[in-house]
Chains A and B, each alone.
Chain A
Amino acid sequence: MFDAASVMVPSTQFTLSGLTVSFDGVTVLHGVDLSIGRGEALGLVGESGSGKSVTWLAALGLLPAKARVSGSARLDGTELVGASPETLDKVRGGRVAMIFQDPTSALNPVLKVGTQIGEALSLHRGLSGAAIRAEAKRLFDLVGIPDAERRLSAYPHEFSGGQNQRVMIAMALAGKPDILVADEPTTALDITIQAQILDLINSVRREMGMALVLISHDLGVIAETCDRVAVMYAGRIVEEAPAARLFAEPRHPYARGLLHSLPPLGGVRRKLVSIPGVVPDPRALPKGCAFAPRCTHVSDACLGASPTLRSPEAGRRLACVLEPENTDQRQFEAA
C-alpha cells in the first residue's frame, strides 16, 4: 500500500497530498503534493505570498478557524487534516516542531523563557519540577545561550533577536521532534547572526537526526542547508528537485528567474536579472499558468489550463508546459 508520493521518496515520513487552503472563498493553496523523508532537509522557496508558510501551518492545523483546509497531510500514516485537537496537540511540538520568522514576537512577553520551554518539556516529555529545570538548562547549553541557569529566569525582551531564536530552537527541541519546520528563521535577524543560527539549526539537526523543512525566500540559505528543494509560486509547487540539480539546472522559468536574480558566488560577474511584475493576487489569478504574465517564455499553451506537476526525469517534478529544450539555459539568457 504505497501511494504515489511515498514511491518517489522512500521512507517517507510526512506526506502532503492535494493540500488545499482557502480563506473566505479565496483559494491560496492549490493542491500541494509534497513529502519529506526521515532525517531529510527540504527547502521551500518562493516569494512572499507563494504559500510556503501556509502549507505547513495548514498541515499542522495552525491556521485560523476561518481557513478551509482540504486534502491530506499524513505523518507516518496518521491523518492530520481534520484530526482531533488531542491528536494535533501531540504532534505539534512532539513530532513536528516549528520556529518562526520574528523570534521576539513569537515568544510570550509576560512569561519567563524557562517557563515557556518548561511547558513543552512537561507536555511532551512528562517532566516536572527539578527535571524540567535541568533539561531546560541542558537545552540552553545546547543552543549556545551562556549562563543558562540564570538566563532561564529572564523574559524575552531581555534577549536579543538572535538569542530569542536560540530560545525558540531550544523550545522546539524540547519535545525531541522528528521534523523541525523553520519558517524564515533568519529573515528578521542581523546578517551576522543569520549564519550562526543556520549553523545551529544544521548542527542540532545532525545531532538529533531530525528532518528539516526550511522555508525561505533566500536561495543562499536554502542552498547551504537543504538536500531537496521545492519552488512554490502562487499556491502551487512549480518545480522540485535535489538541491544540487535545481541550482545547477533550474527548469521552470520562475525557478530560473529566482536564481538569476541572485549574484553568482564565484566566476564572472554578470548583470542581475529581476523577474518583472509581482506575485498575482490570489483573488484574481490569471487563467492558465499563474506565472504566465511574468514569464519571458509565455506561449498560447500557457494560457489554457494550469500546468500539472509531472516528472520529466527521475527525482525532478516540474509544472510547465514548455518542453525542456525550449527552456534551456542559452535561450533563457538570450531572452
Chain B
Amino acid sequence: MLRFLTIRIGRAMITIALVVTFAFIVLRMSGDPAQIIMGPEAPPEVIAAFRKAWGLDDPIWLQYFHYFGAILQGELGRSMRDGRSAIELVAERIPVTLALTLPALAIKIGLGIPAGIYAALHRGSLADRVVMMLSVAGFTIPSFVLGLTLVLIFAVKLGWLPSGGQDSWRHAILPVITLVIGGAAVLARFTRSAMLEVLGQPFIRTASAKGVPWRDVIVGHALPNAAIPTVTIVGFMIGTLIAGAVVVESVFSWPGVGRLLVVAVANRDLAVVQCILLLVAATMVTSNLIVDFLYGFLDPRLRQNAGKAS
C-alpha cells in the first residue's frame, strides 16, 4: 500500500513538472513581456534594461534552470508589473474564487445527483424527459452566454441583482447560478446513466427476489454501485475549483484567480501565469489522487488490484 501510494504521488509530481515546463516554454515563445509591459512606445534602452533585469536575455535553458531551481526552493518569482511576489498575488485571490466555486460545487452536487437518480428511477416519465431536456440545455449553453443572459434578465431588465463586482453576497448569486447550471446538468446526466446501468444488473433483481423493499434496494444496493462513476465527475469538479471559473469571473468582473490569470496572460506576466498553472495542475492532480483512493474505498475489486500492484 505504501509503495502504491509512493508510485501514485511520484507520478503526480511528474505530471505537475510537465505542466510547468510546457507552460514555461509556450509563454516564452509567444511574445516578449518587456515589449508588452513597457508598452509599444518605450525606448529600446528601457526595453533592454527590463529584459536584463528579468533575465530575459539568458538562453531559454538557463532561464528554465533558474526557474526550476527556484520552484524547488518554494520561490515562484515576482510579478513583472508591480514586483509583488506571485504567490502572494495568487494566494489573495484564492478565497475570492472559492467564495464562488465552493457553494456552486455544493449546489451542483445537491441538485444534479438527486435529479439524476430521480430521472433514472422514473425512466421515460415526464419528469425524466424534463430533467434530461434541462440537462442537455444546461451543458450545451456556453457559460458566457448563460452568464450574459442572466445579467440581461436579472440585472438589466428586472434590476433584482447586480450585474458584476464583489461588494456583497448578492453579487455572488448570478455567477454561482451560472456555474451551477452547467455542472448540475453534467452530474444529472452521468448519475442517471450510472444509475440506469446499475438498475439493469442481475444483482438488483437478486436483492428484490430476496425480499428487500424497493427503497432499500435503491439505497443499499444500487447507489453504492452507481456512486463509482459519479465520483469521477465530482472529482473532476473538485479539480476545477480554483481555475474553473475563468469565464464566469470575467463575465461578472469577479476578482478571483480566473481574472488574475486572464490579465496576467494578456500582459505576459510570466511568474504569475506560471504560479497559477502550477496551482491548477496541483489541484487537478490532487483531486485525481483523491478519486483514485475513493474508488478503492467504494469498489472492493479495485482495492484488491491496488493491493496486488504493491
Q: Which residues of B contact A92 (CB under 8 A)?
A: 208-211
Number of interchain pairs (Cβ within 8 Å):
80
Contact, CB under 8 Å: B209 / A97: yes
- Contact partner of A60 (CB less than 8 A), chosen from B207, B209, B213, B300, is B209
Judged by a CB distance under 8 angstroms, whether A51 is at the interface is: no
What is the minimal beta-carbon distance from B239 to any residue of chain A, in angstroms? 25
Q: Which residues of B contact A100 (CB under 8 A)?
A: 202, 205-206, 209
Interface residues of A in 78-114 (CB under 8 A from B): 85-86, 89-94, 97-98, 100, 102, 105-111
Q: Identify the closest chain B residue to A56 (Cβ).
A: B209
What is the minimal beta-carbon distance from B288 to any residue of chain A, in angstroms? 21
Contact, CB under 8 Å: A107 / B212: no
Q: Which residues of B contact A107 (CB under 8 A)?
A: 203, 206
Q: Which residues of A contact B205 (CB under 8 A)?
A: 57, 62, 100, 106
How would residues 298 to 310 of chain B score, 1 for a CB under 8 Å from any chain A CB and 0 otherwise?
Answer: 1111001000000
Judged by a CB distance under 8 angstroms, whether A40 is at the interface is: no
Contact, CB under 8 Å: A106 / B203: yes
- Contact partner of B300 (CB less than 8 A), chosen from A86, A98, A157, A175, is A157
Contact, CB under 8 Å: A123 / B211: yes
CA distance A48 to B138 in the complex (A): 44
CA distance A111 to B299 in the complex (A): 9
Contact, CB under 8 Å: B203 / A109: yes
What is the minimal beta-carbon distance from A136 to any residue of chain B, in angstroms? 14
Say yes or no: A119-B212 contact (C-beta < 8 A), given A105-B201, A155-B300, A157-B301. yes
Judged by a CB distance under 8 angstroms, whether A211 is at the interface is: no
Instruction: Output the residue of B201, B205, B208, B209 with the most chain A CB within 10 A.
Output: B209
How would residues 149 to 167 of chain A score, 1 for a CB under 8 Å from any chain B CB and 0 otherwise?
Answer: 0000001011000000000
Judged by a CB distance under 8 angstroms, whether A197 is at the interface is: no
Q: Which residues of A contact B54 (CB under 8 A)?
A: none
What is the minimal beta-carbon distance from B129 to any residue of chain A, in angstroms? 16
What is the minimal beta-carbon distance from B284 to any residue of chain A, in angstroms? 27
Contact, CB under 8 Å: B202 / A102: yes
Judged by a CB distance under 8 angstroms, whether B286 is at the interface is: no
CA distance A147 to B158 in the complex (A): 71
What is the minimal beta-carbon distance from A100 to any residue of chain B, in angstroms? 6
Q: Which residues of A contact B206 (CB under 8 A)?
A: 98, 100, 106-108, 168, 171
Contact, CB under 8 Å: B203 / A105: yes
- Contact partner of A108 (CB less than 8 A), chosen from B207, B214, B298, B304, is B207
CA distance A149 to B212 in the complex (A): 24
Q: Which residues of B contact A171 (CB under 8 A)?
A: 206, 210
Interface residues of B in 256-310 (CB under 8 A from A): 298-301, 304
Judged by a CB distance under 8 angstroms, whether B221 is at the interface is: yes
Contact, CB under 8 Å: A94 / B300: no
Q: Identify the closest chain B residue to A112 (Cβ).
A: B300
Q: Which residues of B contact A102 (CB under 8 A)?
A: 202
How would residues 194 to 234 of chain B score, 1 for a CB under 8 Å from any chain A CB and 0 otherwise?
Answer: 00000001110111111111100000110011000000000
Judged by a CB distance under 8 angstroms, whether A317 is at the interface is: no
Q: Identify the closest chain B residue to A158 (Cβ).
A: B304
Contact, CB under 8 Å: B211 / A109: no
CA distance A94 to B212 in the complex (A): 10
- Contact partner of B304 (CB less than 8 A), chosen from A86, A111, A157, A168, is A157
Q: Which residues of A contact B299 (CB under 8 A)?
A: 109-110
Contact, CB under 8 Å: A120 / B298: no
CA distance A85 to B304 in the complex (A): 37
Contact, CB under 8 Å: B209 / A109: no
CA distance A60 to B301 in the complex (A): 32
Contact, CB under 8 Å: B225 / A93: no
Contact, CB under 8 Å: B208 / A109: no
What is the minimal beta-carbon distance from B201 to any residue of chain A, in angstroms? 7
Q: Identify the closest chain A residue to B299 (Cβ).
A: A110
What is the minimal beta-carbon distance from A48 to any residue of chain B, in angstroms? 16
- Contact partner of B211 (CB less than 8 A), chosen from A94, A111, A157, A158, is A94
Judged by a CB distance under 8 angstroms, whether A124 is at the interface is: yes
CA distance A62 to B209 in the complex (A): 7
Instruction: Output the residue of B205, B211, B221, B225 with the most chain A CB within 10 A.
Output: B211
Q: Identify the closest chain B residue to A92 (Cβ).
A: B211
Q: Identify the closest chain A residue to B124 (Cβ).
A: A66
CA distance A85 to B208 in the complex (A): 10
CA distance A229 to B66 in the complex (A): 85
Q: Identify the closest chain B residue to A110 (Cβ).
A: B224
Q: Identify the closest chain A residue to B227 (Cβ).
A: A110
Q: Which residues of B contact A98 (CB under 8 A)?
A: 206, 209
- Contact partner of A109 (CB less than 8 A), chosen from B207, B212, B213, B300, is B300
What is the minimal beta-carbon distance from A32 to any residue of chain B, in angstroms? 19
Q: Which residues of B contact A119 (CB under 8 A)?
A: 207, 210, 212, 220
Q: Identify the closest chain B residue to A60 (Cβ).
A: B209
Interface residues of A in 122-170 (CB under 8 A from B): 123-124, 155, 157-158, 168
Write 5 A-B pairs (CB below 8 A) sorted by A numbering.
A89-B212, A93-B210, A100-B205, A109-B225, A157-B301
Q: Given A109-B203, A110-B298, A120-B210, list of 6 further CB < 8 A pairs? A: A86-B213, A100-B209, A106-B205, A110-B300, A157-B304, A175-B211
Closest 9 CB pairs of A and B: A93-B211, A93-B210, A92-B211, A98-B209, A155-B300, A108-B203, A106-B206, A106-B202, A105-B202
Residues of B within 8 A of A (CB): 201-203, 205-214, 220-221, 224-225, 298-301, 304
